[in-house]
Amino acid sequence: MRLKKGRKVLRATAFSSTQMDSLYVIKTLIVRMHESFLDVMENVDQDVADWLPPGEAHPIQISAAHILWVEDAFVNAVIRESTTVWADLGLQEKTGIRPGSIPNLEWARTTNIDIEELKRLYVNELFDNTESYLGNLEPKELNREIDIEGKGRLLKRVLIGTRISDIFLTLAIHSANHIGEIASQKGTQGLQGYSF
């Protein structure tokens, strides 16, 4: 398992402040969410990730990828107006998938995701990128409004608001929801959801 490699430097950056000011709250929220993702995915292999639940629930492979794609899209495409880590790593070209919302239920239950590749190439790079961005953010920047026109048809519906702080709050809640889905579908396969 290589998921946790490289996390120490970023956590130290994230907790360089001693008071729970606005930026400290947002950093703590995102770092805790990242830890929770790493925890729930720790013992998920390709077979567990591929398993198709009964009904209409999403397999773990798509929940995991969706968490990462949304973070990549929010932080890099929406806030920074830059390319996604997914694209920079060549995964967009390789897979033909663009980070964003899930097109439909059928797609969610039939698209194949290489979970080992996500873990090996994408997760650490993405989380490092996000925490590094937060580590260099000026506190006043949290209140900056982001123009979301043309950046995704669902954004207006899902975002709490359009300030940078709002986007990170939305990201944390969204990711935590899907981490819970992963835990639950591990449980449905007879596995323990979280490590605690």
Partner 1 sequence: MDNVEIVKTLVHHVRQSFLDVMENVDQDVADWLPPGEAHPIRMSNLHCLWAEDRFINVFLQEDPTIWSVIGLEEKTGLIPGRLPSAEWARSTPIDINQLREVYMPALFEGTDKYLDTLKADDLDKPVKSDVTNLNGLKAGEILIRFALHNANHVGEIASQKGTQGLKGYSF
Closest by CA to 33, choosing from 11, 56, 58, is: 11
Count the residues of the shown chain that bind partner 1, applying the rule CB under 8 A. Answer: 48
Q: Of 3-11, 23-31, 69-77, 79-87, which segment contacts partner 1 by CB under 8 A?
A: 23-31
The three-point CA angle 108-123-131 to 5° equals 120
Q: Of 24-32, 41-49, 83-91, 116-124, which segment contacts partner 1 by CB under 8 A?
A: 24-32
83/189 with CB nearer partner 1: 189
CB atoms within 10 A of CB 28: 15
| Residue 176 in contact with partner 1, rule: CB under 8 A | yes
| Residue 177 in contact with partner 1, rule: CB under 8 A | yes
| Contacting residue, 3, 36, 99, 128, with partner 1 by CB under 8 A | 36
Neighbouring C-alpha atoms within 13 Å toward the C-beta of 13:
18
Contacting positions for partner 1 (CB under 8 A): 19-22, 24-26, 28-29, 32-33, 36, 53-58, 142-143, 157-158, 160, 163, 165-166, 169-170, 172-173, 176-185, 187-194
